[in-house]
Structure 1
Amino acid sequence: MSLKHYTAQGYEAFQETLKSIGKGQRVVALFTGSKSLTTGESWCSRCAIAELVIDEVIKGADVAGIDVHFVTVFVGNREVWRDPSVGFRTDPALKLSCIPTLLEIGNKSKRLTPPDIYQAQRVKYYFTEE
């Protein structure tokens, strides 16, 4: 897999990352809970599980030949995420309702959420299916 990995902290940083990647590229984003600066742990335990599964799939050699820009997007702390006016929820291109969510940017119908996001075979298929 030709994978370029990016990290964005918050909605504005995510938008800037998309601008830096440019149009016409395949972009897949994992929206996940932010991590504590002191412990390195996410407040979202479900997100931590999904991150482990996705990392294993990405590291697997069996997804070779796939070109993708992969962005890990930290949505903020629990209070920020639960705010109904947060950009991740209101942006018509995203319309997130839960985290963790794996979303192909520009194709909001192609998303993976719990419980499917915890299944390595589903995640692999998500990355390899055009």
Structure 2
Amino acid sequence: MAKIHNVSDYPEYSAAIEEVQVRSPKIFAYFYGNEDPATKKSWCPDCVLADPVIKEAFKNAPQDLEIVRVAVGERAAWKTPDNVYRLKAKVKCIPTLIKLENGEEAGRLEELDCAAPEKVNSFLRS
């Protein structure tokens, strides 16, 4: 199973990326809509579809892989054009899985691609 770092705001995201880059040149960042504590489901319908696929892929990913799992906020906060993840991480939609190599984006899966097991597994092993 990959090592997963759960973060819930941009400063935590930045710090996690910096910390992991010291150990690994390749990092994955997974952006999704916050989960309701009562239902444990995201407000984002595409995230709900992708969630079981992503969890299984992370579970089966190489042990040395590091993933930063990022809750982008509640729906109203995410939908604003000045959302910090839209501006600084260039996330246009959720769910989004981004591969970073040596601090630079090297690929991404967006929306329903994150619900396709073969795409997610292949991407994590690329």
Percent identity of equivalent pairs: 29
- The letter of the residue matching 1:102 is L
CA distance in 2, matches of 1:22, 1:124: 22
Question: Does the residue aligned with 1:58 lie in a helix, a strand or coil?
Answer: helix
Question: Does the residue aligned with 1:5 lie in a helix, a strand or coil?
Answer: strand
Matched, 1:124 2:115: no
- The Cα of 1:19 is off from its aligned counterpart by 2.8
Deviations along 1:32-84, one digit per CA (max 9) or x if unpaired, are 00012333221112112212101112223xx54x6321111000000111111
CA distance in 1, matches of 2:73, 2:45: 14
Choose the corresponding residue for 1:81, options 58, 78, 81. Answer: 78
Choose the corresponding residue for 2:92, options 97, 106, 119. Answer: 97
Where do 5+ consecutive residues of structure 1 fail to align?
none
4+ residue runs over 3 A deviation? none
Please name the residue that 1:47 is paired with: 47
TM-score by length of 2: 0.85
Where do 5+ consecutive residues of structure 2 fail to align?
none
Count of residue correspondences: 123
CA distance in 2, matches of 1:76, 1:85: 13
